[in-house]
Chain A
Amino acid sequence: MNDKRKKALLMLGCPEVPVQTSLAIYILDLLVKSGAMVTIAGNNAALGLVRTADPARHYIKDTADLDATIGGLAEKKVDADICYVFIHNDTGVSYLATAAALISGEAVGIIFGNDALALAQQCDDAGLENIWAGAVHNPKPIISKVNMEVERWAASNS
């Protein structure tokens, strides 16, 4: 039987900004509650942090290597209805642009960290959807925007 649930992909960046891991699990929870199947892609360090934060796998059901995921998207072996790309540096913008070009669904940047405003401008200039807040250690500044964004996506797919 085919699984009709929407597919969501969370693409993590380098985990040097503290809010990333908790934001990832927070968004994962929102997406699962909306009925989506969620895969978290990242490098070893980023995935190690989210796995450690959810040792009993209450939230995390599927993880994937970031490079392999990009390859899968490029070769059309992987796809998603929504891809949230976590951004706190220039590299993250490159991943968002790549995801936006390769997936059949939407790609949205979740921008945080000290350079959030400049990175959001960079995304805007490139026509890339994003939400942003200058959250570094405390995720609170971006949580309400995340809530609204996931609600928006879930409503557009209900």
Chain B
Amino acid sequence: MGCIEQLKYEILLSKARFKECSTFISSNYDEYYQVQPGYHMMNVFIIGVPPIYVAVDGDNIIFPYTKPCHGTFLLTITSPEEVEKIKKMGEPVK
């Protein structure tokens, strides 16, 4: 998974459809934000069909990560920096 592989992450959904990841976030998190395609975080550019949701849970950030041959993964990574950034850059949904 490119640079993501260098990080300590947990996979919440594996080889999922993009919409499943959006639904998972909207159904399971009390705080999440909408970002535009191409939003840069964790040294990757987020791709997907808008609305693209990124959730926050304490210091953890939850986001969809898509690879051509493997579908979309919903990942969670501990990153206070990215949490702070999404709060500034993202559009709050909930």
**A binding-site residues for B, Cβ under 8 Å:** 12-14, 16, 42-43, 45-46, 66-67, 70-71, 73-74, 89-95, 97-98, 101-102, 126
Contacts and interface: CB of A to CB of B under 8 A. Distances in A.
B67 interface: yes
Contact of B68 (A46, A74, A97, A126): A46
B38 A98 contact: yes
Residues of B in contact with A, size category = 20 to 34
9 contacts: A67-B44, A70-B47, A74-B37, A90-B19, A94-B47, A101-B36, A101-B38, A102-B37, A102-B38
A43 B49 contact: no
A71 B72 contact: no
B37 A101 contact: yes
B80 interface: no
A71 B19 CA distance: 22
A9 to B, nearest CB: 14
Contacts, number: 68
The 9 A-B pairs at the shortest CB distance, nearest first, are namely A74-B38, A14-B69, A98-B37, A98-B47, A97-B49, A101-B37, A14-B68, A90-B17, A94-B48
Interface of B: 2, 17-19, 36-40, 44-45, 47-50, 66-72
A14 B60 CA distance: 30
Given A90-B17, A90-B71, A67 B48 contact: no
A101 to B, nearest CB: 4
B69 to A, nearest CB: 4
A103 B47 CA distance: 13
| Interface of chain B: mostly helix, strand, loop or mixed | loop
Contacts of B18: 90-91, 93-94
A67 B70 CA distance: 14
B45 A67 contact: yes
Given A74-B38, A98-B37, A102-B37, A91 B72 contact: yes
Contacts of B70: 91
Contacts of A93: 18, 49
A98 B68 contact: no
A91 B49 contact: no
Contacts of B72: 90-91, 94
A144 B18 CA distance: 30
Contacts of B66: 91, 94-95
A43 B50 contact: no
